[in-house]
Amino acid sequence: MIAQPRRIAHLDMDAFYASVELLRYPQLTGLPVVIGGGRRQHDDALAAAYAGRLAEIPPAAFPRLKDYVGRGVITTATYAARQFGVGSAMGLMKAARLCPEAILLPVDFAEYRRYSRRFKEVILSIAPVMEDRGVDEVYIDFTQVPGGQREGGRVLARLIQKSIHDATGLTCSIGVAPNKLIAKMASEFDKPNGISIVQPGDLQARIWPLACRKINGIGPKTNDRLQAHGIHTIGDLAARPRDWLVAHFGKASGAWLHDAAWGRDERPVVTESEPVSMSRETTFERDLHAVSDKALLGEIFTTLCQQVAQDLAAKGYKGRTIGIKLRYADFQTATRDQTIDQPTRDAATIRRAAGQCLKRVPLTKRLRLLGVRVGKLQPDDGGAQAGEGETEEPLLL
DNA sequence: TCTGGGGTCCTAGGACCC
DNA sequence: TCTGGGGTCCTAGGACCC
């Protein structure tokens, strides 16, 4: 049997959250819509008034971005909204100035997760080697799939695209390439609803002209450092000797940058993985102070511990490292953690350890966020947890 | 007008052990 | 009295991603 060349696909759902919302509210198709922020009274009132007839809500009745007050960011914007310059991770208040009339819908993760499961089931029924990369993205190994090599993967990509659309009404974009790194870039070449095939020989013509930032793993910081050296495109990066990159970016990072620029990536498509940590965090509606808002902070803290405990129980894990995260009003972040002897998933035990962590961090500045994390996870056998059932400790805050 | 929430991985120093 | 290397675990921060 002849070894097949590796063919890896990256599939990215198009404007996923927004597209799922448009299935519920088809009357908003073509309008600027952004998804972000939490559910508010207005949203609930509207949904209640039109229960079971969501598609009949007149577009004019939807809340607008300009009416939003509070903290939050855009998670997704429809293509019509992107025309106004608004996009993912932008603050809602800033977006409101760019496109005040855009419709603002609250994030409904439960619904997106349902669609996520559905499109992934479709993929798995066609190509079984799939790596989950979040709600709206996967890598798929086409190499051994019957027909996976035809037209460089285009035939199989088309089949998957059509099958997902038939099952969900949603569109996606797919890139197929010799490895994950290039496939990830390729899936962006023809968005939305596109397919891009990249062959090994296409590196110079199709990859090198791209900005370094397009490489998955090069973020704003590394990009700035590269720019400072006059490296703007992936071609610029490829032109630097490996030794030079190692000298300026360190042994591991330098070598990785060089490999990435030359399109080298041997990472396998990983079908299963164990979680490393679970956490819950919340940004307050207003900045809180450890002294004057002590009671409120204590309540929030306890709730976060309970939520993490619930998450651990639901997924069947326990963990040994308990940590907190806080973000001050000036956006500075501090973390503290503590490793305990016995792994736990018990809310009171988590609360106690996290409370100890809180004592080790300065609490003079106002806070905007508090988080609780449990790490060093291991599968939970289901037995009783350390501390479980004991009476709750008095609030430490 | 500031900037969500849930993650992973890497680095680097110190403790501690052999 | 001076001086070794590993190796592993823990902790804090930071970069990055979806």
Nucleotide nearest to A335 (CA to C1'): C12
The C1' atom of B16 and the CA atom of A343 lie apart, in whole Å, by 22
The confidence score (pLDDT) of residue A39 equals 86
**Torsion of Cα atoms, A270 then A149 then A216 then A224, to 10°:** 150
Are residues A197 and A257 part of one domain?
A: no
Asked if residue A153 is part of any domain, the answer here is yes
The confidence score (pLDDT) of residue A392 equals 46
Asked if residue A325 is part of any domain, the answer here is yes
Asked if residue A1 is part of any domain, the answer here is no
pLDDT tens for A49-66 read 999 999 999 999 999 999
Query: What is the domain extent for residue A257?
Result: 210-261
The C1' atom of C10 and the CA atom of A300 lie apart, in whole Å, by 28
Are residues A301 and A320 part of one domain?
A: yes
Are residues A288 and A363 part of one domain?
A: yes
Asked if residue A226 is part of any domain, the answer here is yes
Buried b (16+ CB within 10 A) or exposed e, A81-111: bbebebeeebebeebbeebeebbbbbbbeee
Nucleotide nearest to A339 (CA to C1'): C10
* Active-site residue, from A56, A101, A121, A137: A137
Give me the CATH number covering residue A313. Answer: 3.30.1490.100
Are residues A97 and A46 part of one domain?
A: yes
Asked if residue A138 is part of any domain, the answer here is yes
Asked if residue A269 is part of any domain, the answer here is no
pLDDT tens for A336-383 read 999 999 999 999 999 999 999 999 999 999 999 999 999 999 999 876
Give me the CATH number covering residue A46. Answer: 3.40.1170.60
**pTM reported for the whole predicted model:** 0.94
- Please give the structure tokens belonging to residue A244: 């030079």
Is residue A101 part of the annotated active site? The answer reads no
Q: Residues A142, A153: contact at Cβ < 8 Å?
A: yes
CA–CA gap between residue A149 and residue A7 (Å, rounded): 7
Neighbours of A307 (CB within 10 A): 17
Residue A23 has pLDDT above 90, yes or no: yes
Domain count, chain A: 4
The confidence score (pLDDT) of residue A349 equals 98
Give me the CATH number covering residue A251. Answer: 1.10.150.20
Nearest of A96, A93, A91, A89 to residue A75 by alpha carbon: A89
